[in-house]
Amino acid sequence: MKKSKQAKASECEVGVDMISNLPDPVLQLILSRLQGTEEVIRTSILSKRWRYLWTSVPSIDIDYTRRLKPSKIFKKNRFKDFVYWVLLNKTLDLDSFRLWCSNYYNMSTIRQWIHVAVMRKVKLLDLMFCSREESEDIEVPHCLVTCSSLEVLRLCLFECALCLPSITGFPALRVLELNNVRLEKCDLVKRFLESFPLLEELSLIDCIVFEWQDLCISSPKLKNLRIENHYEETGECCYTRKYSRIEISCPKLVFLKLAGNVAMRFRFGTLYSLKEAVIHITDLYEAEEQLDTFEYFDEISHVEYLSINIYCIKWCFDPTVDISVSLPNLKTLEQTVHAYNFMNTLIPILTRLPDLESFHLIIPKDAYVLKYWKLDDAETMRVLTHHLKKVKFLEFDEDKPKLDLARALLEHGHALEEMVFCWADETRFREKSMETMNQLSKFHKASSSVKLRCIINPSQANSNPAQNILEIDSIQAESSSCSSNSSVKLLGRGSS
């Protein structure tokens, strides 16, 4: 393997700036933060110091969508030549290779690119492509199966069928993500699990299966599992994105996420290590037997973090059915609510969570879930007074009913240490967060040490975290029988 050309600043070169004098590893780190390999290559025109520096960056990120500008026509041949040129000029081993090229190229070309990446000992491979022939299946190349360096594989195939060669391989693969892949053979996932001896993380996102197909995931080493389907079923077809039944048996599983319209039934077993579960299933109303559908709660009873939507809650804690759900180790509950009567469902749950410390509430902006809930119902919130330490409102806006709920929690939460309002809209945060904090500061607080924080959702925030936090600290509350005369200290933006 060739060594990369060492980029050195010439002592006699005129105009070398301070950045160019930084060591190669620092400059490579800077280049790796740029969006796409195209941007990285453009830096080669800066000076002789930068001319070959891009070749020593151990990553490639080429995305056809970045070239689809409204005023320009996508040129397939030029894009193809660019990919080959980048691969041939990369002389170092690759930490990552991301290539998104849709259906512009045939499988022969795709396999050549994969082969070059394998020759460069790629560790992470992220491919988004599909066959140009509608009936053509995509077989995993032999060189990829036997690649000893590959640790992470992500495939997005636009509903194309995936085939796995009948050989054992992927000796180093730890993470596998299949996105929008057609899994025609019932045992394909099982074969994947058997073929990957070190696999620790598996994600099946919007994958397509035969109707009424079961999915069985059994792995002794799997630690993270995600199964998601965000498509809605339309019309009658032999293909679907929903399994008839999902069975999971993974003794080392730590994280589990089930989201969307993924299956009719579920069966869990030997999930001894599970600590975090995200269950946002949306098709439970189709299940015929509620008890069978959620018998798995016995297997995840030891989770410490649970994120769940109101539909799942209503099935699991239905007072008309004799189901005793116990979550004795649960410390954090995150709940997404849509129904207006969620309080009637929420309170029975909280009474069964004696050691709950943190409660995250997600109320979608277009949901009028609090419209029919009155502050008088807050007496039932006394179940929170003993243990609840943190409350977080996600996707928060300044809607009055949500503030009423916050007020009720503050009035009865004797153990509260922190209440966080995570705003989804940065503009509204700038305009309304101070006003909201002023309102909150006037509420009576059962806890004398509760801290109130307004923050911007990290996905919406700007790059300066110091501008995304507004905080009230050192809150001194009077006794519950007196009116609130809290002494408030505004720490302002930039507080931690």
Tens digit of each residue's pLDDT (9 = 90 or more) over 157-169: 988 988 887 777 8
User: Rounded CA gap, 446 and 411, in Å?
Assistant: 5
Q: What is the pLDDT of residue 10?
A: 45
What confidence category does residue 243 fall into, taking pLDDT thresholds of 50, 70 and 90? Answer: confident
Residue 14 has pLDDT above 80, yes or no: no
Tokens 């902006």 sit at which residue?
365
User: Rounded CA gap, 140 and 161, in Å?
Assistant: 11
CA 115 to chain CA centroid, nearest Å: 30
Lowest mean pLDDT among 132-146, 341-355, 380-394, 399-413: 341-355
239 vs 100, more confident: 100
Question: Rounded mean pLDDT of the chain?
Answer: 76
Q: Which of 173, 256, 158 is nearest to 207 (CA)?
A: 158
90 three-state secondary structure: coil
Task: Answer for the pair 286, 265: CB distance below 8 angstroms, yes or no.
Answer: no
Report residue 436: phi and psi, to 5°. -65, -45
Please name the residues in contact with 472: beta carbons below 8 A apart, sequence gap of 6 or more.
437, 440, 441, 451, 452, 453, 488, 489, 490, 491
User: Rounded CA gap, 172 and 366, in Å?
Assistant: 45
Q: What is the pLDDT of residue 121?
A: 94
User: Rounded CA gap, 106 and 130, in Å?
Assistant: 9
Neighbours of 255 (CB within 10 A): 17
Q: From residue 464, give the alpha-carbon distance in Å to each of 54, 393, 493, 494.
A: 28, 22, 11, 9
Lowest mean pLDDT among 106-110, 172-176, 337-341, 429-433: 337-341
Q: What is the pLDDT of residue 272?
A: 86
121 vs 297, more confident: 121
Q: What is the pLDDT of residue 379?
A: 52
Terminal CA-CA length for the chain: 48
- Provide the total of helices (H) and of strands (E) in the chain, helices listed first: 11, 24
Tokens 């996102």 sit at which residue?
205
Q: In the numeric block, which tokens belong to residue 443?
A: 């509420």
Pairing of strands 487-490, 418-423: unpaired
How confident is the model over 431-438, as a mean pLDDT? 88
364 vs 476, more confident: 364
Q: Which of 144, 153, 67, 63 is nearest to 107 (CA)?
A: 144
Neighbours of 419 (CB within 10 A): 23
Please name the residues in contact with 36: beta carbons below 8 A apart, sequence gap of 6 or more.
61, 62, 63, 66
Report percent pLDDT > 70 for the chain: 71
Out of 41-50, 125-134, 284-293, give the one with best mean pLDDT.
125-134
Neighbours of 454 (CB within 10 A): 24
Lowest mean pLDDT among 28-37, 61-70, 71-80, 480-489: 480-489
Q: In the numeric block, which tokens belong to residue 279?
A: 């269950």
DSSP state of 161: B
Residue 464 has pLDDT above 50, yes or no: no
Q: What is the pLDDT of residue 277?
A: 93
CA 247 to chain CA centroid, nearest Å: 22
Rg (CA), the chain: 27
DSSP state of 133: S
User: Rounded CA gap, 42 and 203, in Å?
Assistant: 35
184 vs 36, more confident: 36
How confident is the model over 347-363, as a mean pLDDT? 74
pLDDT tens for 261-272 read: 888 888 888 888
Query: Cα angle vertex 319, ends 318, 323, to 5°?
Result: 70
Residue 463 has pLDDT above 90, yes or no: no
Neighbours of 337 (CB within 10 A): 21
Residue 234 has pLDDT above 80, yes or no: no
Q: What is the pLDDT of residue 287?
A: 45
Out of 173-187, 287-301, 382-396, give the one with best mean pLDDT.
173-187
User: Rounded CA gap, 128 and 312, in Å?
Assistant: 33
Q: What is the pLDDT of residue 316?
A: 62
Residue 377 has pLDDT above 60, yes or no: no
Lowest mean pLDDT among 316-320, 403-407, 462-466: 462-466
What confidence category does residue 100 fall into, taking pLDDT thresholds of 50, 70 and 90? Answer: very high
Report percent pLDDT > 90 for the chain: 22
How confident is the model over 48-73, as a mean pLDDT? 78
Residue 1 has pLDDT above 60, yes or no: no
Beta bridge partners, 367, equal none
175 vs 243, more confident: 175
Task: Answer for the pair 190, 214: CB distance below 8 angstroms, yes or no.
Answer: no
Lowest mean pLDDT among 128-137, 207-216, 322-331: 322-331
Q: What is the pLDDT of residue 357?
A: 83
Please name the residues in contact with 434: beta carbons below 8 A apart, sequence gap of 6 or more.
470
DSSP state of 36: H
Report residue 360: phi and psi, to 5°. -105, 125
Q: From residue 215, give the alpha-carbon distance in Å to each of 85, 242, 269.
A: 42, 10, 14
**DSSP string of 198-223?**
T--EEEEES-BEETT-EEEEE-SS--
Lowest mean pLDDT among 77-86, 132-141, 228-237: 228-237
Task: Answer for the pair 266, 244: CB distance below 8 angstroms, yes or no.
Answer: no
Residue 382, sorted as left (phi over 0), alpha (psi -120 to 50) or beta, turns out to be alpha
pLDDT tens for 283-317 read: 654 444 444 445 556 678 889 999 988 767 766 65
pLDDT tens for 310-338 read: 767 766 655 555 555 677 888 888 887 76
What confidence category does residue 98 fall into, taking pLDDT thresholds of 50, 70 and 90? Answer: very high
Q: In the numeric block, which tokens belong to residue 173?
A: 């693969």
